[in-house]
């Protein structure tokens, strides 16, 4: 049965092979010559071959020893680079972080946080899964993402939710739409226009439908799309209006699109962090979350959400 090859035995062989002398190799490795000889013997027994020939005056490699030397060097290099890699991970010099994030929240939250995080830990790669609320939740639960930025979800035992901000729904419309000129918009106004909606498997659509059905409000969902960004495109082209989270809207200086507050009841979604309860966060993920909370705490102090 083959014995286990040990790092120190390989190191002993490489030193003897390179120096051609047991005495110098023993000094370099801070070993006695008998101890060095035992290490070489152990390696030869493990490989079941003879690697070195020696006389009282000199030492040389056998043919197999010559062939094995570059492999032994590679094995030592791989071992050392692996140890270095672990140290780099531990000191956050390298690594990958995966975040499952709502597409709108990815654009709204992440660039400023990533910029600050990258300045502090430039070696850490960040992978963003910009997916729907349901899919993002699933990616966190199955461990594909370290954590998520998502809407508040049904109470699930697998995850915990930390609120970051409330995002009200608004009416998105063209600046030249008749409703844009109205001082106050009513639900009756909205029932009379063509509405662009997102598909029923969207978390935003579910939240909206639940509130409207509870209030007995029925809107004319004339167009249905998969993504909020597509609905904005249709609004911009003049095909209708849409009810969207404020976070999805372009800035107030947009030359075509604008938003207006919705009538009562006010509808809003809560955006926050989703983490698995049964799985400790990596130290890298904890650092990113600390950066995110610190940055958004600063923004909240400057401008209440």
Question: Domain 7-90 belongs to what topology?
Answer: Arc Repressor Mutant, subunit A (1.10.10)
Q: Does 301 have pLDDT greater than 80?
A: no
User: Looking at residue 82, what is its pLDDT?
Assistant: 67
What is this structure's pTM? Answer: 0.63
What's the CA gap between 293 and 6, in Å, rounded? 46
Residue predicted with more confidence, 56 or 150: 150
User: Looking at residue 215, what is its pLDDT?
Assistant: 86
Tell me the per-residue pLDDT of 233-244, one tens digit each, with 9 for 90 and over.
Answer: 999 999 999 999
Q: Does 298 have pLDDT greater than 70?
A: no
Under CATH, domain 167-269 is a member of which superfamily? Periplasmic binding protein-like II (3.40.190.10)
Average pLDDT taken over every residue of the chain: 86
**Mean pLDDT, range 98-123, rounded to an integer:** 88
What's the CA gap between 272 and 153, in Å, rounded? 10
Query: What is the DSSP secondary-structure string of 88-132?
Result: HHHTTSSEEEEEEE-HHHHHHHHHHHHHHHHHH-TTEEEEEEE--
Residues 82 and 261: beta-carbon distance below 8 Å: no
Query: Tell me, what DSSP letter sits at residue 46?
Result: H
Q: Does 261 have pLDDT greater than 90?
A: yes
Tell me the per-residue pLDDT of 197-224, one tens digit each, with 9 for 90 and over.
Answer: 988 878 888 888 888 888 888 888 888 8
CATH 3.40.190.10 residue ranges in the chain? Answer: 95-163+270-302, 167-269
CATH 1.10.10.10 residue ranges in the chain? Answer: 7-90
Instruction: Tokens for 59, please give them.
Output: 């030492």
Ramachandran assignment for 95, one of left (phi > 0), alpha (psi -120 to 50 degrees), beta (any other): left
Under CATH, domain 95-163+270-302 is a member of which superfamily? Periplasmic binding protein-like II (3.40.190.10)
Residues 138 and 200: beta-carbon distance below 8 Å: no
What percentage of the chain exceeds 90 in pLDDT? 38
Separation in Å, CA 304 to CA 36, 219, 296, 297: 70, 32, 11, 10
Tell me the per-residue pLDDT of 262-286, one tens digit each, with 9 for 90 and over.
Answer: 999 889 999 999 999 887 788 788 8
Q: Does 97 have pLDDT greater than 50?
A: yes
Query: Could you tell me the pLDDT band of residue 120, with boundaries at 50, 70 and 90?
Result: confident
Query: Could you tell me the pLDDT band of residue 90, with boundaries at 50, 70 and 90?
Result: low
Residue closest to 126 by CA, chosen among 289, 280, 279, 298: 289
Instruction: Tokens for 142, please give them.
Output: 């199955």
């Amino acid at each position: 049965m083959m014995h286990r090859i040990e790092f120190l035995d390989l190191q002993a062989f490489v030193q003897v092979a390179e120096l051609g002398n047991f005495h110098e190799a023993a000094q370099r490795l801070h070993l006695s010559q008998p101890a060095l000889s035992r290490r070489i013997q152990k390696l030869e027994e493990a490989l079941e071959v003879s690697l070195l020939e020696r006389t009282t005056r000199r030492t040389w490699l056998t043919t197999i020893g010559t062939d094995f030397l570059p492999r032994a060097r590679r094995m030592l290099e791989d071992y050392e680079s692996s140890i270095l890699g672990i140290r780099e991970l531990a000191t956050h010099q390298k690594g990958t972080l995966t975040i499952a994030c709502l597409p709108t929240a990815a654009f709204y939250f992440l660039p400023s946080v990533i910029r600050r995080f990258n300045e502090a830990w430039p070696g850490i790669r960040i992978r963003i899964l910009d997916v729907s609320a349901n899919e993002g939740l699933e990616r966190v639960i199955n461990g594909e993402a370290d954590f998520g930025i998502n809407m508040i979800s049904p109470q699930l035992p697998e995850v915990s939710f930390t609120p970051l901000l409330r995002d009200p729904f608004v009416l998105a419309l063209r600046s030249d739409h008749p409703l844009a000129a109205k001082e106050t918009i009513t639900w009756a106004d909205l029932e009379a226009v063509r509405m662009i909606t997102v598909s029923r498997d969207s978390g935003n659509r579910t939240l909206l439908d639940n509130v409207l059905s509870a209030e007995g409000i029925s809107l004319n969902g004339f167009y249905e799309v998969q993504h909020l960004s597509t609905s904005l495109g249709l609004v911009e082209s003049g095909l209708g209006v849409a009810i969207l989270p404020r976070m999805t809207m372009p800035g107030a200086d947009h030359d075509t699109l604008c938003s207006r507050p919705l009538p009562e009841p006010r509808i809003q979604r809560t955006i926050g962090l989703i983490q698995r309860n049964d799985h400790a966060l990596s130290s890298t993920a904890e650092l990113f979350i600390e950066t995110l909370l610190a940055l958004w705490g600063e923004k909240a102090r400057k401008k209440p959400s």
